[in-house]
Amino acid sequence: MSINVKNFMQSPVIVIGPSDNIAYARKVMLRERISRVIVAEGEKPIGILTKRDIIRALSDYKFRRRELSAITASEVMSAPVRSLVEGASVRDAAIAMATNNISSLAIVDEGGNLVGILTKTDMTKRFAEAYKGTYAVKDLARGLDQTPVLHRSHSVFHAMDLMDEKNIDRVVVVEGETPVGIITETDLSFVRPYRGSEPFLKGNVYEEEELVRTRIYALPTVEEVMSRDPLSVSADQDAALAAAAIVENGIGGMPVVSPTGSLAGIIVKSDFVKALAKGE
């Protein structure tokens, strides 16, 4: 028997208006511990604003010099928002997410009014419940060639570029071949480029008791914003257990490691959505 999205959607939905600014939207995301908000006019969803949209705004030259409080949701939101009726099946939702390469769906009633939201987290939870013993992590995970990898001294803006290039919401930081950190969209959504004419601040330091003029670079590095010692998973582990660990720890994915501890790939919520799209 198919399970419909009404059983798994989140309701009520956190919404903002199109004229609300992204500084406010970011505060809402932080307070509610969510990665996106629906933009609505009355009861009708008209767009969605995600952390990735905020990152793009911060890295886009036309927005870079503007205060976040001066950028409205309507300027950077994704529109129109993808929606699904509340009676649709979980597989219908998974197919819609996988086909359109999106991380959430607005759930509406027959009149098109917003009644809920369904995210990759909800889908990952469903996978953990229904697919025990069906797949190993290696059956679903992305290989090393599809895994964005950086070193500690790379700039955060290179991390932004890699996320877009690989269409993924996190980057693995390695030392040698061992994963030592993770950078996510959440980390990057709070990075603000330096707005001066030069990419550094001028300051003073002491070298061997002598005052020396120096430059303090304002461009943050990967090491400064990454989350250290990320949870990882073995390629041979049950994928349902990996999905459960992701949900329980409130993370979006984990590095996949070989028996020697070296990085072998990454598994993220989208990989579980693709498995659900194949059918139970």
pLDDT in tens, 48-73: 999 888 877 777 778 877 888 999 99
Domain ranges of the chain: 5-130, 137-188+223-277
SS3 for 92?
A: helix
Give the pLDDT confidence score for residue 173 in this predicted structure: 96
CA distance 107 to 129: 22
| Whether 5 contacts 84, CB under 8 Å | yes
Same CATH fold assignment for domains 5-130 and 137-188+223-277: yes
Tell me the pLDDT band of 27, cut-offs 50, 70 and 90. Answer: very high
**Phi, psi at 194, each rounded to 5°:** -65, 135
pTM: 0.81
| Whether 138 contacts 256, CB under 8 Å | yes
Question: The CATH number of 5-130 is which of 3.10.580.10, 3.40.50.1220, 3.40.50.720, 3.30.70.330?
Answer: 3.10.580.10
pLDDT in tens, 119-129: 999 999 999 99
pLDDT in tens, 72-95: 999 999 999 999 999 999 999 999
The kind and range of the H/E element at 172 are strand 170-175
Give the pLDDT confidence score for residue 43 in this predicted structure: 94
pLDDT in tens, 212-260: 454 444 567 888 889 999 999 999 999 999 999 999 999 999 999 999 9
DSSP letters along 9-68, please?
-B-SPPEE-TTSBHHHHHHHHHHHT-SEEEEEETTEEEEEEEHHHHHHHHHSHHHHTS-G
CATH fold of 137-188+223-277 reads CBS-domain (3.10.580)
